[in-house]
Amino acid sequence: MKQKSSSTPKFIVVTGGVISGLGKGIAAASIARLLSSKLKIVPIKCDGYLNTDPGTMNPIEHGEVFVLDDGGEVDMDFGHYERFIGCTAKFEWNLTMGKVFKRILEKERHGDYLGSTVQFIPHVTNEIKSMFHTIVEKEKADLALIEIGGTVGDLENQFYIEAVRQLKNEVGRDNILFIHLTYVPIPSGVNEQKTKPTQMSVKALNELGIEPDIIIGRCQEYLTQKIKEKISLYCNIDTDEVISGPDTNCVYEIPLIFENEGLVASLHKKLSIYSPPYLKEWRELVERIKKNISEPSRQTTIAICGKYTALEDSYASIIEALTHCGAQLDIKVNLKWVDTDEIEKGTVGPAEALEGIGGVIVPGGFGVRGVEGKITAIRYCRENNIPFLGICYGMQLAVVEYARNKCGIKEAHTAEAEADGKKVKNAVIDLLPEQKKIKDKGATMRLGGHDVIIKKGTLAHRILKADTVRRRFRHRYEVNPQYIQTLEKGGIIFSGCAGDKRIMQIMELEGHPYFVGCQFHPELTSRLEVPDPFFLHLVKNSLTPEKKGN
């Protein structure tokens, strides 16, 4: 068990430069992983957008909405934090400018600033710092790892940058450390690492009053010693404080790379802390993943059938859960992206779309676009004994498909398909009762961790090996209680339900190699060391008999 130190809390601030999408979240999570053996670390993410949270944002624009156990809808970087550190994050750890401004306006109306003109500085920056300190104190953290979203120079993150500059003066230089993640390109035809973008990015950071203590250079390959020396010279840091962040086909390798680059020693020295990394099992699983990428002894292909396939980050946690399964089972899990819009339009048939796959996932989603394509894919899996996992909306549509084609419920559908005043005739999936009067869209779904009661003697009980599990939800609709008896008579087994036994939370079918649907999102609690059981059994059953082995 980690022991709370009596010393002053430490702060590590991670910023990004040159371009977006460099992987600040994974870098921050990797740093936290390296220091988490003896320290209690709380990750804080600062986003510049004015939304209170990303819950109403299009996944294609923003990426996956990660749902926390406390019901918070947060940035997808929290998925990296939880998977790398093993923590259970909280909604208040995700700051957005929408949250910050909302708090300030509420205080102004309440009279907290009477006599003052409310200004960006000091009121906005003071509020940000207050949120930092409140989180650290409440969590009794040894170290706060603050990731500032966006790129240095963005208008949206200027107040966060100014807040951490002020924080440096308040907590003392020995208690705060700045890490800047930047880009070192190798231009086509030049075949040489270039430091000018890094120099300009650090200069922009210096102009904002922050001098980075450590620079991580993202590049296609490891930084050469010559390039490290050049960055050191122009950015006013020691050479051993320039860390390589090379491209890798396994994000879980990044803590190992940082450790080998000497990052841990620098962090210990500069912050006067000691928390040596424990990575034995982690390293073994990473080596297994890398081996299976380059020289797989066994492999399978899982199709992800959805409508957000234009941006794979929309399904980031699903991808990671499958990676966890591949490491655990020592196999390579290939992904095939299937756009269900194309199946719905008839551009491609289900047999062609699912050719050569070993298993299918129909993930969560919203709206009617691509729904009939998903239902067609689900029916093909059921009728052709293809292992299937339906998540949230995927489970609901599996119920719709079965109701239509096996239970004889004509025009069975989800009430979510209602539009322009047209009612669904047989809504086997309907709004949760408490949702029917809700008008606001943000943070109003059934969200966060809830207990799932598992029915004994079912496949779910054999897989989960528990009478009750806690999983995370994000939905407005449920299996309509009026149809449950008919569906059960038709062959659906509802093997998991809510504590009050009203909401059906797991469904399965007998006589099928693997056909499971869950109302919750199992991918959100999957970890490298402990993969989610539903994903694990999907991957196991996707293997052909000769490849299953043990």
Token output for 191: 């075949």
**179-207: average pLDDT:** 94
What tens digit of pLDDT does each residue of 95-116 get?
999 999 999 999 999 999 888 8
Query: Assign residue 302 a region: left if phi > 0, alpha if psi is -120 to 50, beta otherwise?
Result: beta
Which of the four pLDDT bands, split at 50, 70 and 90, describes residue 3?
A: very low
As its CATH architecture, domain 10-278 has 3-Layer(aba) Sandwich (3.40)
**Chain region(s) in the chain for CATH 3.40.50.300:** 10-278
73: tokens are: 């809808």
pTM above 0.85, yes or no: yes
The answer on pLDDT for 242 being more than 90 is yes
Q: What pLDDT score does 6 carry? A: 46
- The answer to whether 364 is annotated as binding is no
24 annotated as ligand-binding: yes
Residue 429 in contact with residue 477, Cβ under 8 Å? yes
H, E, C per residue of 299-344: EEEEEEEECCCCCHHHHHHHHHHHHHHHHHHCCEEEEEEEEHHHHH
> What average pLDDT score do residues 410-414 get?
90
Q: Is 26 annotated in some ligand binding site?
A: yes
Catalytically annotated residues: 392, 521, 523
The segment(s) of the chain belonging to CATH 3.40.50.880 are: 283-548
Cα–Cα–Cα angle for 462, 465, 471, rounded to 5 degrees = 110
> Is 111 annotated as contributing to ligand binding?
no
- pLDDT at 417 (0 to 100): 81
Q: Is 299 annotated as a binding residue?
A: no
**Residue 111 CB-half CA count within 13 A:** 0
The pLDDT > 70 percentage for the chain reads 94
Q: Could you give the CA distance from residue 278 to residue 56 in angstroms, rounded to a whole number?
A: 38
Instruction: Please state, in angstroms and rounded to a whole number, the distance separating the CA atoms of residues 272 and 175.
Output: 8
CA–CA gap between residue 409 and residue 339 (Å, rounded): 27
Which pLDDT tens digit goes with each residue over 291-312? 999 899 899 999 999 876 555 6
pLDDT tens per residue, range 121-159:
999 999 999 999 999 999 999 999 999 999 998 998 999
Average pLDDT over the chain reads: 91
CB crowding 134-155: b at 16 or more within 10 Å, else e: ebbeebebbbbbbbbbbbbbee
DSSP string, 391-421: ETHHHHHHHHHHHHHTS--TTEEEGGG-BTT
Burial of 70 (0-12, 13-18, 19+ CB in 10 A): middle
DSSP state, residue 115: T
Q: What is the pLDDT of residue 546?
A: 46
The answer to whether domain 283-548 has CATH 3.40.50.720 is: no
328 is in an annotated binding site: no
